[in-house]
Amino acid sequence: MPNTPAPVQSDSVALIAPRDKAEILAQALPYIRKFHGKTIVIKYGGNAMTDPELQADFAEDVVLLKLVGLNPVVVHGGGPQIDAALNKVGKKGHFIQGMRVTDDETMEVVEWVLAGEVQQDIVGLINAAGGKAVGLTGRDGGLIRARKLKLKDLKDPSLEHDVGQVGEIESIDPSVVKALQDDQFIPVISPIGFGSKNESYNINADLVASKLAEVLKAEKLMLLTNIKGVLDKEGNLLTDLTARRIDELIADGTISGGMIPKIAGALDAAKSGVNAVHIVDGRVPHAMLLEILTESAYGTMIRSH
């Protein structure tokens, strides 16, 4: 078992009485027992990915989940980092219906940012926290086969927008991920797929995480975001929803705009056998760990039924 560094005690942690700490750990035990050996797919993005303290919290959470017998698999985004890299080469990001238009030059930047800088940062953070992380792209072990996305116009479905090397998932072969899990490694996956002519495709990380959760028959899919979760029309957090209720909330306009594509992948995963999908507020320290191992709600859980 890897050696974990001694935890850094913040003032808030130091103030918790030993008895209360023991109570917190005891509460986690039934969840550890319930989820032991199960796969948890985590989409890592938003503030949790750019704030140094939240980055360290995330890495510790992933390592702890692995150490107590769960099998975390991390899929990461990197939109802000891609924008920053494009600015450096004098290129401005262009979007159609929320999709980044990805020409050849942009695709090169996407690959070196996601599969290089961002992925290696995450791998390094997890390893520094005492884990054994390994970086993958969709090319490794034939993991993600993709084809060019045909983006239909929202107002006129007969029109199609060309968004370049943006892909949709054709198939996922999870054998390389399973092999790493069996050897006690934590896979960290960049959302880049490959096509039939060996071309690269930039794929939405939420969709990759959702599809991977389906294929791996994951117990849970965790989507770390910059929002509290799904809110009702009064702005209150809805902590527990069924797939059917989500359909109703989209139909009546409660869920709208940019939230729809994020929910769409989660909904597909819930309907395809993933027991629970959590949309978690990544701005809360250790929110993912608290959501999995306690009764506290730090986001919205979508159940398959």
Report field, pTM of the whole predicted structure over 0.95 = no
The residue ranges of every structural domain in the chain are 36-303
For the segment 42-61, the average pLDDT, to the nearest whole number, is 88
Mean pLDDT on 220-244: 86
Is 100 annotated to bind ligand? yes
pLDDT digits (tens, 9 = 90+) for 134-188: 999 999 999 999 999 988 887 888 899 899 999 999 999 999 999 998 889 999 9
> Does the annotation flag 195 for ligand binding?
no
**Of the candidates 302, 184, 286, the residue with the CA atom closest to the CA atom of residue 247:** 302
Q: How many helices (H) and strands (E) does the chain have?
A: 12, 16
pLDDT value at position 226? Answer: 84
**pLDDT interval class at 76 (50, 70, 90):** very high
Q: Tell me what pLDDT residue 48 has.
A: 77
Q: Which helix (H) or strand (E) holds 76?
A: strand 71-76
**What CATH architecture applies to the domain 36-303?**
3-Layer(aba) Sandwich (3.40)
pLDDT for 258 equals: 65
The neighbour count for residue 66, using CB atoms within 10 Å, is: 23
Other Cβ atoms within 10 Å of 277 Cβ, number: 30
> Phi/psi zone of residue 280: left (φ > 0), alpha (ψ -120 to 50 degrees), beta?
beta
CB atoms under 10 Å from CB of 249, counted, come to 20
